[in-house]
Amino acid sequence: MPKIKASSIEELKARVNIYDVVSAYVSLKKSGSSYKGLSPFTAEKTPSFFVHPDKNYYYCFSTSQGGDIISFIRMKENLSFSEAVEFLANKFNVKLEYEAGGKSDGASASLRKQIYDIHEDAAAWYAENFFAGGEQAAEIRSYWTNERGFSLEDAKTLRIGYAPPSSDPLKKILAQKGYSPEAMLASGIFYGRPGERLRDYYARFRARMMIPISDIQGRVIAFTARKTRFTPDIPSEEGKYVNSRETEIFKKNAVVFNLDKAKSAIREKNSCIVVEGQLDAIRMFCAGFKNTVATQGTAAGAEHFALIRRFANKVVLLFDGDAAGRHAALRVIPICIKADIEPFVAPLPDGEDPDSFIKKFGTDAMAELVGNRLQTALSFAARSILADTPNPTASDKRAAMLQLFEIVDNAASRVLRDDYLREISNALVLDYPSVAEDYRARKSPAAPGASPAENPPKKDSSAMLTNAVYDSLMICLYNDGVAQGMADILQDAWIEEASLPAAVLKKILALYREGIGFSVSDIETYFENPEEKNIIYKILSEKSSEIDNPAKVANECIAKIYHNFIKREIEALNAQLVLADNNDSAEKFEILKRISALRKLSATPPARIELA
């Protein structure tokens, strides 16, 4: 999508207060100058979540996470940065401007908004027609209720609609609302050529039942349209189902059908049921399986599962009970594993799909299938590979094992790979140590995400820090004048490298040296590392952070940091002295000379901050 202008983002953050955003999700109570409530990110009984409206940020002590309005919505709604900005802008009526020639060469921001609004108005009009009087609407409703077995209440919830045979009414309605012909054509709802007059446009969807497709925020971005007996009998209308073409706001590989409605249930259950068809997803959703989604009119791909991974790390593949469905599941399993999702398969009987299964056997049978009759990914894959080999030989098992190894390669974690190898050994009735040995001995590329040190130790933690560094950071966050004085005196070389607050302190001091300064509103601008941002928000949320006589404490911190630096340098030189060649007196003399110079420096205090 086009890049949002930085000035628009700053205006959004200035106009929208963190209290107004968070209070929609959390019951907040006044606590001094702040507000507190139960964490929206974890289950807890004692409030540890604090909102600071005066400085427009929040901090959660339970999860050690903090941020501004954008980061809160990103976490709560599982949105990208741009999606969160647009979400907030729409909710609080803040107009966004986009960079010319940004990430996309497509529609301008104003045109893009028109396309969203056109889809919303078209969806409302289609839904109105579905419930209208007349023979055609009555027959479409009859198809929905009698043939498909859904209720009219389901139709309202899902905004099912009907597009009449004529193109003119929708064109007239949209034109009266002020949409440009350019936007109407760019929406994909009409056929036409650039430069043609509006009267020459004609509707893509005519005399079809309409199923809206929404993005993760619930905005209508496209449609799937089912043929009816009223659909014009012309070649362009032959397809049983016709989908919107891809547009500036609709990319098939970036949309998961029903995810906007299912995301809360998916997050709550930490599990997502994935089906192949939209009507299968609708059937499951209306039957009470609220965590069900479908891929959007194309083969399931990595981008679809990256979206799902925002909400859960487990999926249940509920694909059709035929050879094509089993093949689709086999293709998807490695995609899931590569996306760090644990896949399971709910095998449907031959010839059944989710819709027909529920109609024939009922919701209890479906609940049993997706709850208690799941197969692990590798056991399903093993059965599928050997489906035509009822009595596999050792050679057959080895061939299957090698195919399964290719699936295991997608796991980034050695622990996960070991688990999958155990599944293979169980499914093929082979000795696990032998399977593991064959896997590791086999010449193959390193698994994605693996590294020579798969679980490297973290470089630092707050426990490793000196109080002087932490206190210096605290002072810089609370007192601009002292922070500028520290920036003028403290040298980066004096500050220990191996600590998170040290890294944050260096960045803030650099901003002061460049004449920029630093405030709470700058956190999201200058810090990308979540750990760095969280330690800033943590310090800001600690009541003890407000230090009396900050200049005095700052001078003490500078002296400690300075003397610790000299101490480290002397220790390093002493180590060199031990390793120095006994026959090289010149080298030893030079080291001793440097040690002596450092000891003299140690006796000389650094400059001090003097505030008027």
CA distance 12 to 91: 11
pLDDT at 575: 86
Residue among 404, 397, 395, 405 at smallest CA distance from 443: 405
pLDDT tens for residues 244-298? 999 988 988 889 999 999 999 998 999 999 999 999 999 999 999 999 999 865 6
The answer, yes or no, to whether residue 12 has pLDDT greater than 60, is yes
DSSP type of residue 4: B
Ranges of beta strands (E only) in 120-174 are: 161-163
Task: Look at strands 220-227 and 161-163 and give their pairing.
Answer: unpaired
What CA–CA distance (Å, rounded) separates 512 from 481? Answer: 10
Per residue in 450-504, pLDDT (tens digit) is 443 344 333 333 333 358 888 899 889 888 888 999 998 988 888 876 678 888 9
In which band, very low, low, confident or very high, does the pLDDT at 20 lie, cut at 50, 70 and 90? very high
Share of the chain above pLDDT 70, in %: 91
How many C-beta neighbours within 10 Å does residue 498 have? 11
Core vs surface per residue 249-271: b (16+ CB within 10 A) or e: bbebebbbbbbbbbbebbbebeb
Instruction: Tell me which DSSP letter residue 465 carries.
Output: S
Lowest mean pLDDT among 6-15, 108-117, 334-343, 399-408: 108-117
Note the pLDDT of residue 105. 38
Q: What is the pTM of this model?
A: 0.66
DSSP code string of 480-546: HHHHHHHHHH--GGGS-SS-HHHHHHHHHHHHHHTT----GGGHHHH---HHHHHHHHHHHH-GGGS
Mean pLDDT (the chain, rounded): 87
The predicted pLDDT at position 45 comes to: 77
pLDDT at 458: 38
53: buried, middle or exposed (CB in 10 Å: 19+, 13-18, 0-12)?
middle
Mean pLDDT for the stretch of residues 180-197: 88
Which of the two residues, 521 and 136, has the higher pLDDT score?
136
Q: How far apart are CA 40 and CA 43, in angstroms?
A: 8
**Residues constituting the chain:** 612
Mean pLDDT of 596-603: 83
